[in-house]
Structure 1
Amino acid sequence: MLRENINDLIAFQAVAEERSFTRAAARLNVSQSALSHTIKALEQRLGRRLLIRTTRSVAPTIEGEDLLATIAPCFDRIEARLEAFNEDRGEPIGTVRIAAVEYAIESLLWPKLSPMLKQHPKVNVEFVMDYGYTDLAEAQCDAGVRYNDQVSEGMIAMRIGPDERMVCVGAPAYFERAGTPETPQDLSAHSCINLRLSNHGALYAWEFEDKDGHDIRVKVGGQVTFNTINPVMQAAVDGHGLALVPERLVAAHLATGALEVCLGDYSPYFPGFYLYYPSRERPSAAFDIVLEALRERG
């Protein structure tokens, strides 16, 4: 490869990813005119038009998209490797992006990572709230958090939390008004607070287990539906109906008596949250530090 092509390809990648000569020039710390000249020279050498330019936007052509898909992973791996060399000589540096549901971020990730971040000021963590089981590559995330049975095949998985169970809860005033269900099937006569799953838009079917270990799924109804778990809990506290929520999420409300558990005999424990990522070749020392901080030791 011609030596000058390397810098020109880096310039092309910046413009194609930023979709703007202005932002790409700032990213590369060069002038817009110099960047424009570089791209034109690259296109002339290759005999291909790589970018479509209008007065309002810049976008790769089909051939430009193909070139970007080829060079971007290579440059990213080179940059990560060079960064790892620098990290080996001193304080780890880098950003780790983690996709997780709100409950996992609040109850596990933040409590475990907060002390680590104070010890390593050059390590950054970005939390991406995700209820839709987003593909890590599409979301540009280094790792995700799910329950063990939801981790995709082929991923590396590491346990980061204790066993969990989902419990059916309600406010004392609700039980006084509507009575207490004795079996999961009784929920059809109760007002329940629904959770809509963002990955496919369906309402979450409440899951229980009988004394013989058989699964029970119940579709419930009520006045209120949310698509995140914290408002579901608050609506139960406010007396709007029953909610099926993680027991650890409502532990404080159970302790104060603001909420009470029903159908506890139908709520078994299951393995808790796992961190998952796509490769055993971890991207940086910063990522290794995050892994170590999150590892479940109980």
Structure 2
Amino acid sequence: MDAPDPRAIPPLPALLAFERAATQFSFRRAARDLSLSPSAISHQIRGLEQQFGTKLFVRGARSVRLTAAGERYLAKVSVALATLQEASRDMLRRRGEASGELWISSLPFFTSAVLLPALPEFKRRHPQLTLRIEATHQYADFNGSRVDVAVRYGREHAAGLKVEPLVRVSGQPVCTPALVKAGLQRPEDLSREVLIHVTTQPRAWPAWLQQAGLPQLAPRGHLWLDSVPAMLEAAEHGLGVAIAIAPLIKARPGFGKRLVAPFAFEAEPSETIYLISRTEQARDRRIAAVRRWIADAVARAS
């Protein structure tokens, strides 16, 4: 077989820009997906059109569409990129299997409240496996990163992912026992308190107040922080009332002493936390081991 002519193969960034623009019908949305500027996408597309001597897109005011030549090219480029992606993913999986490493991307609070306390048990069960845990709210990129398992709210719609519900959760106010002794007894008493929020979850307190029948309640003040652990620490320092994740908050060290739930009212579960993995790894023994470990840890934390 003749060696491929590198001069006939466009640069990979140009092919990715073309594929994204063609499937999104927009240079702007393609730029967002690839973390580039729209002008960079346009530059890559012009380079392809100059190389082939033909137009690939018909440009509109707010969208683009493929020419006949562009449609023919997209059909083959999509197959080629999918093949490259699967080959790369296979290499990453094989490297992880050979090294005994498994990468978990987990919500920060879930990591601290559920996974970390259960780590000794995992090491006892599976001493040959090494876990690498990333605590983040960011999207878990199963295509472009080494992540094997993710723990997230909501439901992932991407094809090729296995989505399994772990636990239904709801908001639950928590504060120091001192605030309860000072008179925080009923949800209406929150009008005298500072509500502590997480910037990534701006609807948490409004949703809880709505369920409690107090949508118009005006607290004494608001405190906004950038993570759930920071919010809970602020509550432990007596800076106000935080909205925690029930029932998992019960697993936090010091719950019942440094932090308590001041109200008998319990909101209905409004979110589900899911375990997400690749469909093709359903029979991977490492994934199965982590799945069982996380399910057991959730049961203990709940």
TM-score (norm: length of structure 2): 0.59
Cα distance in 1 for partners of 2:13, 2:91 equals 25
Match of 1:191 in 2: 194
Match of 2:6 in 1: 46
Partner deviation per Cα, 1:2-35 (whole Å, 9 max, x = no partner): 5xx6xxxxxxxxxxxxxxxxxxxxxxxxxxxxxx
Match of 2:229 in 1: 230
Cα distance in 1 for partners of 2:149, 2:113 equals 17
SS in structure 1 at match of 2:150: strand
Amino acid of the structure 1 residue aligned with 2:7:
G
Give, in angstroms, the shift of residue 98 of structure 1.
Answer: 2.0
The alignment of Structure 1 onto Structure 2 pairs a total of residues equal to 234
Aligned residue among 138, 155, 173 for 1:151: 155
Whether the 8 Å CA contact 2:170–2:267 is kept in 1: the answer is yes
Cα distance in 1 for partners of 2:238, 2:92 equals 51
Partner deviation per Cα, 1:112-165 (whole Å, 9 max, x = no partner): 454334554543322222224455435552222134xx122465233445x544
Match of 2:88 in 1: 76
Establish whether residue 105 from structure 1 lines up as the match of residue 104 from structure 2: no
Whether the 8 Å CA contact 2:209–2:217 is kept in 1: the answer is no
Tell me: higher relative CO, structure 1 or 2? Use CA pairs within 8 A at least 6 residues apart: 1
Whether the 8 Å CA contact 1:100–1:130 is kept in 2: the answer is yes
Whether the 8 Å CA contact 1:170–1:241 is kept in 2: the answer is yes
Amino acid of the structure 2 residue aligned with 1:260:
V
Cα distance in 1 for partners of 2:283, 2:92 equals 6
Cα distance in 2 for partners of 1:218, 1:280 equals 49
Whether the 8 Å CA contact 1:204–1:219 is kept in 2: the answer is no
Amino acid of the structure 2 residue aligned with 1:261:
A
Cα distance in 2 for partners of 1:139, 1:77 equals 9
Bigger drift between 151-160 and 188-197 goes to 151-160
Aligned residue among 139, 148, 154 for 1:142: 148
Partner deviation per Cα, 1:252-280 (whole Å, 9 max, x = no partner): 43432x33322331434577633122425
Percent identical among aligned pairs is: 15
TM-score (norm: length of structure 1): 0.59
Match of 1:242 in 2: 241
SS in structure 2 at match of 1:293: helix
Give, in angstroms, the shift of residue 196 of structure 1.
Answer: 0.8
Give, in angstroms, the shift of residue 287 of structure 1.
Answer: 2.2
Cα distance in 1 for partners of 2:124, 2:7 equals 51
Match of 1:182 in 2: 186
Two-structure CA RMSD over aligned residues (Å): 4.2
Equivalence map 1:1-298=2 (5 Å): 2=2, 45-48=5-8, 62-63=14-15, 69-76=81-88, 78-79=90-91, 93-137=99-143, 140-147=146-153, 150-153=154-157, 155-160=161-166, 164-176=169-181, 179-180=183-184, 182-183=186-187, 187-197=190-200, 202=202, 204-208=204-208, 222-247=221-246, 248-249=248-249, 252-256=253-257, 258-268=258-268, 273-282=273-282, 284-296=284-296, 298=299
Cα distance change on mapping 1:126 and 1:204 into 2, 3 Å = same
Cα distance change on mapping 1:116 and 1:220 into 2, 3 Å = same
Cα distance in 2 for partners of 1:223, 1:82 equals 49
SS in structure 2 at match of 1:180: coil
